[in-house]
Chains A and B, each alone.
Chain A
Amino acid sequence: MSSEGTSPDSSVGIDRSRRQFIAAAGAAGALGLAGCQGGSTGGEEAVTVASLNPMTGPFSSLGPGQRTGAELAVAEINDTDDYDFEFELVTGDTETEAGAAQSEAQRVVQEEGAEFVFGAISSSVALGLNDFAGQSEHIYFPGGAAVPITGSACNEWVFRFETNTAQIAEAISAYSVNNLGNNVWFHYADYAYGDSVYNRTSRRMENASDDYTEVGTSTSELGASNYGSFITQISNSDADVVVLGMTGGDLVNFTNQAADQGLTDQMAVVGPTQTFQSVRAGTGSNSVGTFGGARYDPSLETGDNQAFVEAYASENDREPGNFARVGYDSMRLMAKGMNEAGSTEPGDVRDALEGGTFTTVLGDITLRESDHQATNPTWMAELVAGDGDTADVELLEQVPGSETLPPASDLGCEM
């Protein structure tokens, strides 16, 4: 059955003993429930699903979006008759720290009995949860964008609806080098995400144009707060374009300081996550004139996006961002997988999700058989002056899903 890792028979062992505990938990509550395991037989069966998001720590401005998206999906799933089960949502705070995330994951899986888990943003946390899902054999939908999550660290229990860095790099690389300028500077934060932006984007740009020149690179530490020195350095170079391999607070600080020091007027500032709501909120008008890859925009007419935007806006008084749509559709994909499988047993759902095509807010996407990555389209966008304090996103070009995703073997996934 299972073919993961070093000790195939051991995982069977865990599986059996773990199920025993879940059975025992059920028995403690209501005798006889243990027998129901594995069947989606009629009525309103409750399936425990979990959403683990960074509510504190450096990513705490992004976590709540994931959480509200997931909550909306759960409410909708429980309201419609499309599914003959109910989702019971349990939540946890990953604190952007692998240790806390591990213990939260263990809590929701072992104490609450969740076998379907969504969440995490930082790559380290997502990788930890990946591994845990592989060990305890439950479905996991990561929220992080780092390539290794469905790349070198992929496993059969992990499915990703979030668009990964490689896909975004595809979107911004060709457009930038062909339309914004050939001389490119890379500035990236010195950690997994930043490194992967640099590697992907520079390689793609090289393929996209013969005139491409890498003018220079600079790196800062994750969480650095003062970018003045880099901006000066970049501004004094011959670059036409600067690509930023950073996100969250780092990107906000860089963008604000770049605008103050006049870099934004001088050259094209391109950040894969520049269009994120949280980044726009943190930068205000300072991000006007910068470019970014877009994984999502509420204005999209793809799939059932408009219905989602409407529902989300009426619940939360604002439009959803990328993290909300990831939370929303990750939960819906779990439910759709269960319907497809006719079962709420993780193993069955896994088989149904693998290679399956589903309608999402991004249109019909496939969870690729080879690495379980969703074949999302991506967009190149420019930030323009908006009505309020924050900049608006103007989509410049769509790159279809089929073109954004390199083969799984390229990304290092062997399942």
Chain B
Amino acid sequence: MVAADFIEQLLNGLTLGMVYVLLAAGLSVIFGVMDVINFSHGELFALGAYFSLSIIAPFGAGTGFWIAIVVAPVAVGLIGAAIERTTVRPLYGRDPLYHILLTFGLVLVINDGIRLIWGTQQRQLAVPEYLSRPVSILGVQVSVYNYFMIVFAALLAVVTWYLLNRTKYGMIIRAGSQDREMVRNVGIDIDQYYTLVFGVGAALAAVAGIVLGGYQNVNTGMGNSVIIPAFVVVVLGGLGSFRGAVFGGLLVGVVQTLMRAYNGSVVATVGDVTLSVPNLEGLTVYLLMIAVLLVKPQGLFGTRGEESESEGEILVGGYGGVLADSTRVRLGGIAVVALALAPLAILFMGDQYYLVVLNEILIWAIFALSLDIVMGYAGLVPLGHTMFYGVGAYTAALVMLHYSQSVFVVLLGAILICAVLAWIVGSLSIRVSGVYFAMITLAFAELLYSAVFKFDFTGGSDGLLGFEAFLGFGTIGASLSNIEFGLLGYELGQQFVFYYLALLIAVLSLLFARRMMNAPFGSVLQSIRESEERAEFIGYDVNRYKRRAFVISGGMAGLAGGLLAVSPSTVIISPDQTLNWIHSGEVIVIALFGGMGTLYGPMIGSGVFFGAEEFLSSYTDQWRLIIGTMFILFVLFVPRGIVSIPSLVAQRLETANNADGPVDMDEPEVRSDD
């Protein structure tokens, strides 16, 4: 009985694990061979399920399912190949960072496309009757479909393994995932294989989408729900390793399932002490991933050395630019004055809502600035940066609820707690570099995200409510909601006070960061970005500098989160609003979009991003599609971000004027300005 029970659980775990294997195989090989961190893999997975819906509808489940499982992956594979040709290809040789921006854009476009075509209703993917019934073998009872999923996915995995290991194409791809340069050096044009790899990876994801869709249901959020576990699998197994993907997939599937089945159950009783499995569902895989990366940074089956990793070019926005420094400072001054006067314009328009939007922009401007310190200067790409934003917001809300309502105390608390958190996370994760650093910070962020659901003091899924900030210390000052004063007959309220507070903090943060980058500490950070190895060998303790930058950045992101909680527009701090990984993605996208490595670029990025969102969403429901397309076009044509537009324009003009002296448009001398 107990044994049968365990075997059933194991089968359940394997079922889920096989889906992860199919997903991760493509993701891993795509990363291994072309260094692409493909966030859109989850949407291609969903696309497979949706295509199947449309294919099954006219044929019925009996035959339709089998047609779909062949045709839909081919269709998705073709789409994948087309994506590679048109958007991914131009980015080879650049840092994997740009693929985050690109594939993030693709996620928005594909997901919105799905919603447009198939609607938001969740659907059932019909599977043949004989597959969806229970079957009992030796007392072990699971669905036939479980066996089908395991066998079918295993078959595909074996075929993939065969193709990779026993064919010429496969050998080259495998070699390429271990050492691209070597393959190039022996005279093979590895780039030719990329389209194939991307297409096959997409097709495998589509198969996973179909089999999982048949097991569960088909909905617009399905891609988003698998992409993070899939990354965990890939990183656990080792980037680029097919064997690792298989092992990691099964491991994560089984561990997730068993933790679920046996959480809280008693393992043993020793004297008065009862040992039970702690309730760690959801946390386990991330703990596992952190542990593996700390012990074996390249994953369980990783073969790639540190050397060959992420050597692509990072294009920072700041290279002087066509505008003189003094002009730029003057423009910055004008921008601040304009922002300081904006509330008056809003006042005369009588629409206080724009102030809410401006407040959000300022908060995110500080958040994006904090990211730029580590990403644009120290060359670290944290995929879990929202942990500081979220923890800052939670800390601020908790301080207001339990200790002090003073804005200054609250914000200081948020900064300090986040700085400490950053020191701990940084100490553990800065040892690993590149993509592994991105992933380990993601794991920490997901760990915290799962954790806030579990505790009473964080309010679980509802979050925290009922806090209010107070502008002042002790008893001296005024509650934000109490503040009002008159100007020209208009009453000014809390939104205005908060706006000026946020504006002041944003300007001070920028000045602080600028000062820091022009001081000895910041100059070392820039040298690390340029060449970590060289910085080490002129005598700098690179890890220590990175860790300090991470602490400063974490504290500043905590400040942004604290401001979110203090804002009068915020009545609730909830997990999804602050700690969902999507915000980590968004802030990277905003920083790149604005122009990283310039400090002010990411802040401008915040303004343009939220402004565009606000503007577009009031005209069309498909605003995500438009913003996604905008990201894709930017990463292709304006890789240094918005701040580089003036110099791009100047360059075009120059080219137009110098008919006899053409300027190469691709040369890296594109400069930036604000």
A residues near B (Cβ < 8 Å) are 6-7, 9-11, 13-14, 16-18, 20-28, 55-58, 60-61, 63-64, 93, 96-100, 102-103, 106-107, 109-111, 123-124, 127-128, 131-132, 135, 148, 153, 190-192, 195, 220-226, 228-230, 232-233, 235-236, 249, 252-253, 256-257, 259-262, 265, 278, 281-284, 286, 389
Q: Closest CB-CB distance, A315 to chain B, in whole Å?
A: 17
Closest 5 CB pairs of A and B: A262-B134, A228-B12, A24-B350, A191-B461, A99-B577
Does the CB pair B132–A260 fall under 8 Å?
yes
Contact pick for A135, options B220, B351, B571, B578, CB 8 Å: B571
Does the CB pair A282–B574 fall under 8 Å?
no
Q: Mark B9-33, 1 if CB is under 8 A from A, else 0.
A: 1011101100000000000000000
Chain A contact residues: helix, strand, loop or mixed: helix
**With A13-B484, A128-B572, A229-B261 as given contacts, are A61 and B120 in contact (CB-CB < 8 Å)?**
yes
Tell me, yes or no, whether B630 is within 8 Å of chain A by CB: no
Does the CB pair A256–B216 fall under 8 Å?
yes
Does the CB pair A236–B571 fall under 8 Å?
no
* Other contacts beyond A64-B120, A190-B461, A229-B258: 20, CB < 8 A: A14-B481, A18-B493, A25-B351, A28-B348, A28-B350, A58-B221, A98-B463, A99-B570, A102-B570, A106-B353, A135-B571, A190-B460, A223-B225, A225-B16, A226-B215, A226-B216, A229-B9, A232-B5, A282-B219, A283-B124
Contacts of B356 in A (CB 8 A): 103, 106-107, 110
Does the CB pair B353–A226 fall under 8 Å?
no
Does the CB pair B5–A233 fall under 8 Å?
yes
Q: Closest CB-CB distance, A340 to chain B, in whole Å?
A: 29
Q: How far is the CA of A337 from the CA of B227 in the complex (A)?
A: 47
Q: Closest CB-CB distance, A275 to chain B, in whole Å?
A: 16
Contact pick for B461, options A55, A103, A222, CB 8 Å: A222
Tell me, yes or no, whether B304 is within 8 Å of chain A by CB: no
**With A98-B463, A281-B124 as given contacts, are A111 and B353 in contact (CB-CB < 8 Å)?**
yes
Q: Mark B521-553, 1 if CB is under 8 A from A, else 0.
A: 000000000000000000000000000000000
Does the CB pair B12–A96 fall under 8 Å?
no
Contacts of A93 in B (CB 8 A): 617
Task: Tell which of B256, B461, B580 has the most Cβ of chain A within 10 Å.
Answer: B461
Q: How far is the CA of A98 from the CA of B282 in the complex (A)?
A: 22
Q: Closest CB-CB distance, A168 to chain B, in whole Å?
A: 19
**With A252-B216, A281-B122 as given contacts, are A10 and B481 in contact (CB-CB < 8 Å)?**
yes
A134 (CB) vs chain B CBs: closest residue: B571
Does the CB pair B492–A17 fall under 8 Å?
yes
Q: Closest CB-CB distance, B345 to chain A, in whole Å?
A: 12
Q: Closest CB-CB distance, A36 to chain B, in whole Å?
A: 16
**With A6-B468, A24-B490, A259-B132 as given contacts, are A124 and B574 in contact (CB-CB < 8 Å)?**
yes
Task: Tell which of B9, B215, B352, B360 has the most Cβ of chain A within 10 Å.
Answer: B352
Contact pick for A98, options B16, B491, B577, CB 8 Å: B577
Does the CB pair A61–B121 fall under 8 Å?
yes
Q: Interface residue tally of chain B, by bracket?
A: 35 or more
**With A17-B491, A236-B5 as given contacts, are A128 and B217 in contact (CB-CB < 8 Å)?**
no
Does the CB pair A132–B576 fall under 8 Å?
no
B454 (CB) vs chain A CBs: closest residue: A190
Tell me, yes or no, whether B257 is within 8 Å of chain A by CB: yes
Does the CB pair B481–A106 fall under 8 Å?
no
Contacts of A28 in B (CB 8 A): 348-350
Q: How far is the CA of A259 from the CA of B219 in the complex (A)?
A: 19
Q: Closest CB-CB distance, A181 to chain B, in whole Å?
A: 20
Tell me, yes or no, whether B141 is within 8 Å of chain A by CB: yes
Tell me, yes or no, whether B482 is within 8 Å of chain A by CB: yes
Q: How far is the CA of A200 from the CA of B556 in the complex (A)?
A: 43
Contact pick for A17, options B13, B466, B484, B564, CB 8 Å: B484
Tell me, yes or no, whether B281 is within 8 Å of chain A by CB: yes
Q: How far is the CA of A350 from the CA of B220 in the complex (A)?
A: 38
Contacts of A153 in B (CB 8 A): 465
Does the CB pair B216–A253 fall under 8 Å?
yes
Does the CB pair B479–A10 fall under 8 Å?
yes
Contacts of A57 in B (CB 8 A): 221
Q: Closest CB-CB distance, B393 to chain A, in whole Å?
A: 9
Tell me, yes or no, whether B142 is within 8 Å of chain A by CB: yes
Q: Closest CB-CB distance, A256 to chain B, in whole Å?
A: 6
Tell me, yes or no, whether B126 is within 8 Å of chain A by CB: yes
Q: Closest CB-CB distance, A88 to chain B, in whole Å?
A: 16
Does the CB pair B351–A220 fall under 8 Å?
no
Q: How far is the CA of A16 from the CA of B142 in the complex (A)?
A: 64
Does the CB pair B141–A221 fall under 8 Å?
no
**With A61-B219, A226-B15, A262-B134 as given contacts, are A131 and B465 in contact (CB-CB < 8 Å)?**
yes
A195 (CB) vs chain B CBs: closest residue: B460
Contact pick for A229, options B257, B353, B468, CB 8 Å: B257
Q: Closest CB-CB distance, B42 to chain A, in whole Å?
A: 13
Contact pick for A63, options B120, B145, B146, B570, CB 8 Å: B120
Q: How far is the CA of A51 from the CA of B490 in the complex (A)?
A: 30
Contact pick for A111, options B123, B351, B463, B466, CB 8 Å: B351
Does the CB pair B351–A123 fall under 8 Å?
no
Contact pick for B215, options A21, A111, A128, A256, CB 8 Å: A256
Contacts of A224 in B (CB 8 A): 260
**With A14-B481, A221-B453, A236-B1 as given contacts, are A228 and B146 in contact (CB-CB < 8 Å)?**
yes
Does the CB pair B574–A98 fall under 8 Å?
yes
Contact pick for A20, options B490, B571, B578, CB 8 Å: B490
Tell me, yes or no, whether B569 is within 8 Å of chain A by CB: yes
Q: How far is the CA of A256 from the CA of B11 in the complex (A)?
A: 17
Task: Tell which of B1, B348, B462 has the most Cβ of chain A within 10 Å.
Answer: B462
Contacts of A18 in B (CB 8 A): 352, 493
Q: How far is the CA of A225 from the CA of B49 in the complex (A)?
A: 15
Does the CB pair B5–A249 fall under 8 Å?
no
Does the CB pair A230–B261 fall under 8 Å?
yes
Tell me, yes or no, whether B179 is within 8 Å of chain A by CB: no
Q: Closest CB-CB distance, B571 to chain A, in whole Å?
A: 4
Does the CB pair B360–A27 fall under 8 Å?
no
Q: How far is the CA of A273 from the CA of B142 in the complex (A)?
A: 25
Does the CB pair A225–B225 fall under 8 Å?
yes
**With A228-B15, A229-B258, A252-B216 as given contacts, are A97 and B491 in contact (CB-CB < 8 Å)?**
no
Contacts of A191 in B (CB 8 A): 453, 460-462
Give 12 pairs: A residue, B residue, CB < 8 Å, sorted on A. A14-B494, A55-B621, A97-B574, A98-B573, A103-B569, A192-B460, A221-B281, A232-B12, A236-B5, A249-B122, A252-B124, A283-B217
Interface residues of B in 242-258 (CB under 8 A from A): 256-258
Does the CB pair A229–B12 fall under 8 Å?
yes
Contacts of B404 in A (CB 8 A): none
Q: Closest CB-CB distance, B297 to chain A, in whole Å?
A: 29
Q: How far is the CA of A107 from the CA of B261 in the complex (A)?
A: 44
Q: How far is the CA of A265 from the CA of B577 in the complex (A)?
A: 40
Tell me, yes or no, whether B85 is within 8 Å of chain A by CB: no
Q: How far is the CA of A110 from the CA of B359 in the complex (A)?
A: 14
Does the CB pair B493–A257 fall under 8 Å?
no
Contacts of A111 in B (CB 8 A): 351, 353-354
Does the CB pair A281–B121 fall under 8 Å?
yes
A28 (CB) vs chain B CBs: closest residue: B350
Tell me, yes or no, whether B95 is within 8 Å of chain A by CB: no
Q: Closest CB-CB distance, B560 to chain A, in whole Å?
A: 13
A189 (CB) vs chain B CBs: closest residue: B461
B356 (CB) vs chain A CBs: closest residue: A106
Tell me, yes or no, whether B8 is within 8 Å of chain A by CB: yes
Does the CB pair A128–B574 fall under 8 Å?
yes
Interface residues of B in 105-153 (CB under 8 A from A): 115, 119-124, 126, 132-134, 141-146
Q: How far is the CA of A387 from the CA of B103 in the complex (A)?
A: 43
Does the CB pair A20–B453 fall under 8 Å?
no
Does the CB pair A124–B124 fall under 8 Å?
no
Q: Closest CB-CB distance, B661 to chain A, in whole Å?
A: 51
Contacts of B463 in A (CB 8 A): 98, 124
Contacts of B11 in A (CB 8 A): 228
Q: How far is the CA of A109 from the CA of B571 in the complex (A)?
A: 15
**With A13-B484, A55-B621, A64-B120 as given contacts, are A260 and B143 in contact (CB-CB < 8 Å)?**
yes
